[in-house]
Structure 1
Amino acid sequence: MARIKPQALLQQSKKKKGPSRISVTTFTVYGLIVVVMAFFLFATYRHWTRRSNFQSEDILSGVERDNSFGDLKKVDVPKYAVITTSKGSITVELYKEGSPEVVDEFIKSCEKGRFKGMLFTRVIKHFVIQGGDVNKPGTTEDWTSRGKNYNQLDTSLKHEAFMLGTSKGRHDGGGFDLFITTAPIPDLNEKINVFGRVIKGEDVVQEIEEADTDEHYRPKTPIGIVEVTLKQKN
């Protein structure tokens, strides 16, 4: 038996231990597997992202539907307003159901502070007190000649005293004037939009009503509104 030389044995061992080459076919297969896995992961990510967005949109649309029926708005709309004057505070209950647009405009005006510093420009005893621009043609202008005729009115009339309203023609000249009746007025709807009622502070209204006025029913001593605070509960 022929003896194998040590050098030949060393070369044979190196050939056995050396790494085998990867074929082109195997490399291509592995590459396709990686691409497919990456595509699958990307598709899964997009699917769950879209599903999450759809759920968020459904929730928002549900909230909007509730808003369209006024379910959420009713919670946020104040039901009362406290009119703080230089004579004291007057608490008013707002008639949102009866005059929604006027109440909304009144609330916006309160939030913007438009009533701060407003003066009661006309005071007609046993009739109304008015806050607003004295130079603006207002509802009271054509009432002054008839004011004395309302001194003794039937208390069973539809419109009672201490009702809060604003001029129907207020949009023509801008602004938001306020009227508080001090006696029942039979043709109230023809003159002003009623959107509230005084539930506390009637004595303050009467004190303003008793102020000394000039021939144009303007208080000789200024009486004004300090601020108006909106409240959910009385």
Structure 2
Amino acid sequence: MAKIKPQALLLQSKKKKGPSGIGLPTIITCNVIVILIVISLYCTYKHWQGLWYRSYKRSNQLETEFNNSEKDLESLGETKKYDLPNYVIMNTSKGIVSFELLKDSAPGIVDQFLDLCQKEYFKGVPFHHVIKNFVIQGGGGLNRMGDAEDWTLKRKSDGHLASSEKHEAFMLGTCNVKQESNEFQFLITTSPIPDLDDKLFVFGRIINGEEVIQEIEEVDTDEHYRPKSTVSIVNIILKHEL
């Protein structure tokens, strides 16, 4: 193999090209790509951040609306309760009896009773049970001729005739039994009757006219405590104030 002379090597080295450097266009292109990637990532982040913020804001808004609606319902309930008439003037064939309604103790029963009063449900309705030193029963629905009589017979057979302050006299109540919306049976106590605490919902008390109730209590009755002469409700007037 022939040897290359030093002069020839020098000439060959001059002919070889050095390594080519990275051009400016390449650098610019790479920078643009990096910038686009960063912008894309930033836009994606802002997009999801916006979705989360809107979802969070909507959730808070719904919670606020729900809380406000609850307050509105409570306020409406309170307004309705205090807008209802406070007093019932019952005009009977024996005279006038005034009741104060106990709205807080039995609001649902008071609502039903007032609704029926406004519909004149009790107009002309008789007192169909009169049991001395116990209750006077009126209204309609359920077993009209049975409830008070059964309670009285049980009370006498058990010997529970002693008075008690647990259940006062001259209170207005109704049976602790589900009644139809268009029916209502009421009782007026004429003496303390603790035996009926679990059978009555008390929703009113007499504030004037006890003597009328006592007069009704004195009417003659048959063996089933039914008045021999009719005693009935002429009409009922509702009032906010007396």
Common fold by TM > 0.5: yes
Match of 1:78 in 2: 85
Structure with bigger gyration radius: 2
Which residues of 2 match residues 33-112 of structure 1 at below 5 A? 65-66=71-72, 68-69=74-75, 70-112=77-119
Match of 1:182 in 2: 190
Give me the whole-angstrom Cα distance separating, in 1, the residues matched to 2:82 and 2:70: 15
Residue type matched to 1:153 in 2? A
Is the aligned partner of 1:206 residue 2:214? yes
Q: 1:217 to 1:206 in 2, by over 3 A?
A: same
Q: 1:130 to 1:74 in 2, by over 3 A?
A: same
Question: The residue matched to 2:216 in structure 1 has which SS?
Answer: helix
Of the structure 1 ranges 196-205 and 168-177, higher mean CA displacement relative to structure 2 is found in 168-177
Instruction: Write out per-residue CA displacement over residues 54-91 of structure 1, whole angstroms, 9 at most, x where no aligned residue.
Output: xxxxxxxx899545323422442111101110000110
Question: The residue matched to 2:179 in structure 1 has which SS?
Answer: helix
Aligned Cα root-mean-square deviation (Å)? 2.7
Instruction: Write out per-residue CA displacement over residues 195-219 of structure 1, whole angstroms, 9 at most, x where no aligned residue.
Output: 0001100000000000000111000
Q: Is the 8 A contact 2:85 2:238 kept in 1?
A: yes
Residue type matched to 2:74 in 1? S
For these two proteins, the number of residue pairs brought into alignment is 173
Residue type matched to 1:125 in 2? K
Question: The residue matched to 1:104 in structure 2 has which SS?
Answer: helix
Q: Is the 8 A contact 2:123 2:236 kept in 1?
A: yes
Residue type matched to 1:167 in 2? C
Residue type matched to 2:96 in 1? S
Which consecutive unaligned segments of at least 5 residues does structure 2 have?
Answer: 1-67
When normalised by structure 2's length, the TM-score is: 0.64
Which residues of 2 match residues 1-234 of structure 1 at below 5 A? 65-66=71-72, 68-69=74-75, 70-133=77-140, 136=144, 138-146=146-154, 153-154=162-163, 156-169=164-177, 171=179, 175-234=183-242
Q: 1:130 to 1:72 in 2, by over 3 A?
A: same
Give me the whole-angstrom Cα distance separating, in 2, the residues matched to 1:187 and 1:173: 27
Give me the whole-angstrom Cα distance separating, in 2, the residues matched to 1:161 and 1:64: 39
Match of 2:41 in 1: none
Instruction: Write out per-residue CA displacement over residues 150-192 of structure 1, whole angstroms, 9 at most, x where no aligned residue.
Output: 89533x5211100100112251696101100000001222222
Give me the whole-angstrom Cα distance separating, in 2, the residues matched to 1:175 and 1:190: 21
